[in-house]
Amino acid sequence: MRSFFSFPNPVNERAARTVAAGVVALTCVALLFRVEALVWVIAAGFVGRVLAGPRLSVLGFVAQRVIAPRLGEPIAVPGPPKRFAQGIGATVSVGAVVLLAVGWDTAAWVLLTVLVVAASLEAFAGLCIGCWLFAHLQRLGMIPDDVCEACSDIHSPQARAAAREYAQRQQS
């Protein structure tokens, strides 16, 4: 039995990229129209996804259950790097909320611009900066291999088994 506060592993790459596209759209609206309340929504979404995957995020839920299934077969990728990336997004977006609250608006909008760049790379180019950083930290020994054995070798039997398990769960 999975805990409510667990993150899916593996993750459907199509859903992750859909969430990133949603983050790009929301953040662009917040930036273009200086909608501070939307920054709170973006930050809450990131925190929710870090805590419980798509269960506490409307954007994550819609991406996983509605949009990604219409984009084709799931592409299974390890969950821990995606959670790490969501944690970075949470840190940046919560930082923007704090900066807005103390009146440092320009700094907040700069942070959100960085968020748009990172989310755009994930959504449109498939380059997850958080996942890339996770891999490098794991290679340096700063993240133990047992946190994500599949990340150590994406061609390992564990990675292939995780991908098969994920595909079977999605079909049922």
CA angle 76, 79, 82 (to 5 degrees): 105
Mean pLDDT value across residues 48-68: 94
Q: Residue 20: exposed, middle, or buried by beta-carbon count in 10 A (0-12, 13-18, 19+)?
A: buried
Q: Is there a contact between 123 and 116 (Cβ–Cβ < 8 Å)?
A: no
Dist. CA 116–CA 27, nearest whole Å? 6
Is the dihedral angle over the CA atoms 58, 59, 61, 62 positive or is it negative?
Answer: positive
Residue 82 has pLDDT above 60, yes or no: yes
Listed by start position, the domains of the chain span: 11-171
Give 140-167 pLDDT, tens digit per residue. Answer: 999 998 888 888 665 455 555 655 665 5
Return all residues near 33 (Cβ < 8 A) that are at least 6 apart. Answer: none
User: pTM of the prediction?
Assistant: 0.86
| Token duo for residue 97 | 């909320």
Can you give the pLDDT at residue 4? 73
